[in-house]
Amino acid sequence: MNLSIDQNQDYSNKELYQFLSGVSLPDYVKEASTENVKTAETLEKSAYADPDFRKFPINSKARVYVSNAYFVNKVAELANLRGTAYVEKIAANIQKAAEAYGILGDLQDYNAVAIENRFADYVDRTIVVKVAGDNEFDLFTIKTASDVQNEADRFITHLDNYPYEWRRPISEQFVKAAEAFGIDELPDLIVKYAGQYFPDIVAIKDELNRRMTKLSSQKDKETYAKLAADANDIVDSVEDIFKIADICYFTEKNAGLYDKPHYVKILGDPVDKFFTLHSTKVAELMDVVTMAGEKYASSDLERVPADIFEKAFGFVPKVAEYSDILPTMPKSDVNLFRQLSGVNPI
């Protein structure tokens, strides 16, 4: 994950609004136009408090003020990322620029308010996983946005150290922590364990059959075969697939497969293998038309000229009829349609 360090990476101005809200801004800040995202490409290095990385522009009153706002609110993260010497250098350069523009008092006023707000709003967020009865284990402490990513990476790196039944609640709490800090990215496996990916039922059946070949027990093989055969009858796909993943994990663990690094690599985590569709992809797949057993995006079909439909199918279907009529087209006609239109399955 890339956390924004200064205004040049805050493309949506989300943090800018947060940092300047509730503060009595000087007129030169109110009147300044929004920073262009290409600022880093157009200014000389000397225009930055951090000339090496081109961060924190300080070549105008407004830029000094805004750079200071970002710096003050991210000083702890910057210290963790680049060390105290870096922080001290940036602070000194921003102060020198403020003195040169005669706005040091404005920055001091802002910093006093920012520090007061930080302590007033501070919440020590600790991820707690309840494993049995009233017993709780404090596993991860989240205090800053960077903590979310660092601890999430640590969790995934050492995933095998955490009992399987803990992984979902841990992941769900990481997602909540990320939302609290406005973070959009977490490792995919955490998001999958948190239930924000969805299964492709056809792929599930193939995956079950693949995993079945690694088992030696005939009883276990029969269990997997039945799970694959019953996959089409799944109603609550997310929870039902989690139950199948549970069965796979404990079956394979009891069979000793997870004690063999070679098999661990071949099999992979069942949750990772079963939940392959992100929510955005599912949204895309909701608007599809099946032809000759393959899925086509409705939006792609709607752009095809009428004469192509006429040549391939002998008629021009209405958009509202796509889902009813096109699935009945012969495979040979569908292949001709693909050649003429250039539209391929998704």
Answer whether residue 120 shows pLDDT above 80. no
- What is the pLDDT averaged over residues 277-288? 62
Long-range pairs for 333-336 at CB < 8 Å and ≥24 separation? Answer: 334/291, 334/292, 335/292, 336/311, 336/312
Answer whether residue 17 shows pLDDT above 50. yes
Backbone angles phi, psi at 290, to 5 degrees: -95, 130
Token reading at 137 = 């284990």
Nearest to 278 by CA among 159, 165, 189: 189
Answer whether residue 136 shows pLDDT above 90. no
Query: Count of CB atoms within 10 A of residue 244's CB?
Result: 22
User: For residue 177, what are the CA distances in angstroms to 30, 132, 152, 173?
Assistant: 33, 22, 10, 6
Domain boundaries, the chain: 14-121, 125-192, 197-279, 287-341
Which helix or strand (DSSP H or E) is residue 69 part of? helix 61-82
Helices (H), the chain: 14-20, 27-30, 39-42, 61-82, 84-101, 104-121, 145-157, 164-180, 188-193, 201-212, 218-230, 237-254, 261-267, 270-274, 279-286, 298-302, 306-313, 322-325, 331-341
- What is the pLDDT averaged over residues 222-227? 94
pLDDT-derived band at 248, boundaries 50, 70, 90? very high
Q: Which residues pair with 277 in a beta bridge?
A: 198
Query: Count of CB atoms within 10 A of residue 282's CB?
Result: 13
Answer whether residue 143 shows pLDDT above 70. yes
The letter for the amino acid at 334 is: V
pTM: 0.51
pLDDT-derived band at 262, boundaries 50, 70, 90? very high
From 4-13, 47-56, 194-203, 333-342, the region with the lowest mean pLDDT:
4-13
Q: Which residues pair with 137 in a beta bridge?
A: 129
Q: What is the pLDDT of residue 14?
A: 66
Q: What is the pLDDT of residue 238?
A: 83
pLDDT-derived band at 200, boundaries 50, 70, 90? confident
Let me know: does 279 contact 197? Beta carbons within 8 Å. Answer: yes
